[in-house]
Amino acid sequence: MNLVKKKIYIFISIVCAVFSAYSNAIGMSAFRIYLDQDNPQTDFIIYNHNTLPQECQLKLRHYAFDDAGKMTEYKGEEPLANSAESWVRFSPRKFTLTPQNNQTVKFVMRRKARSEAAEYRSYVSVDCGVEIKSDDDSKKEMISIAPKLVHNLPIIVRTGKLEATLNISNVNIKDGNVYFRLNRTGNRSVYGDVQLIEKSTGDVISEQKTLSLYTETSHSDFHLNLRNKNPADLILRFTENKAFGGTLIAEKDL
């Protein structure tokens, strides 16, 4: 192997090793943050599973959704009407996460007098990373890379009593899958899991977890694999996650 190829090989090997090592370096206690008048504050924990310190920064970002649930990043100068930014405060926003340690970030809902019942949403961007320096045997070359995996977690703030309904429609069985539509109405989002369940045993055949339909979205399409089961023996069920402000259940026979 000539010297140039050897150097390229060493560089690629280092990059692959670093990204493999740090892709799972950061762990989090939740992938959604929820606040309302009964739950005005919550703790969110970030873990460093690696052996090097992580420099972390948290900030709010915003995304918009269309009627069918398509997500796009919002880049406008004025905040979105449903932004949660003025409704929440959190700290710390910037910190060093030492190896094999964790950091608790506290989120608190701001109190506002005479506020109307509504749902607000932003995204907490969790940006953590380290700088790795590696030298070759001659110690004449240095490689500096900063692998990062940015997580964007929705933060939902609800003021007052809000309602939503959900139903399942457009069921179609094709190529070993069941295709269907979740339909949402009301003034709040829904968040939960959809499962394909065997009627006789109650066993879960397949599922999609942590699905969200936000207030801009009236419907969204999904599919699940039948796992070679007879469709007549199965039922579709969507169950809202009670920990995030909902108790809806929607069912549909295939």
Summarised one tens digit per residue, pLDDT across range 156-208 is 999 999 999 999 999 999 999 999 999 999 999 999 999 999 999 999 999 99
User: Same structural domain for residues 200 and 91?
Assistant: no
- The last residue of one of the domains, among 159, 189, 220, is 159
What's residue 148's pLDDT? 65
User: Same structural domain for residues 138 and 209?
Assistant: no
User: Same structural domain for residues 101 and 37?
Assistant: yes
User: Same structural domain for residues 46 and 169?
Assistant: no
Quickly list DSSP for 38-93: SS-EEEEEEEE-SSS-EEEEEEEE-EEE-TT--EEE---SSPPTT--GGGEEEE-S
User: Same structural domain for residues 56 and 11?
Assistant: yes
What's residue 12's pLDDT? 35
- Cα–Cα distance between 12 and 17 in angstroms, integer? 8
User: Same structural domain for residues 7 and 26?
Assistant: yes
User: Same structural domain for residues 71 and 108?
Assistant: yes
Is the pLDDT score of 1 beyond 70? no
Q: Supply the CATH number for residue 216's domain.
A: 2.60.40.10
- The last residue of one of the domains, among 159, 184, 201, is 159
Host domain of residue 89:
3-159
User: Same structural domain for residues 14 and 114?
Assistant: yes
- The last residue of one of the domains, among 131, 159, 187, is 159
Is the pLDDT score of 222 beyond 80? yes
User: Same structural domain for residues 173 and 154?
Assistant: no
What's residue 6's pLDDT? 41
pLDDT in tens, 41-56: 999 999 998 888 889 9
Average pLDDT over the chain reads: 86
Cα 11 to chain centroid distance, Å, stands at 33
Most confident of 13-27, 66-80, 214-228: 214-228
How many domains is the chain built from?
A: 2
Average pLDDT over residues 68-91: 92
User: Same structural domain for residues 108 and 147?
Assistant: yes
User: Same structural domain for residues 140 and 184?
Assistant: no
Give the residues across from 208 on adjacent strands. 194
Terminal-to-terminal C-alpha distance of the chain? 61
Is the pLDDT score of 79 beyond 90? no
User: Same structural domain for residues 146 and 199?
Assistant: no
For the chain, helix (H) and strand (E) counts, in that order, are 1, 20
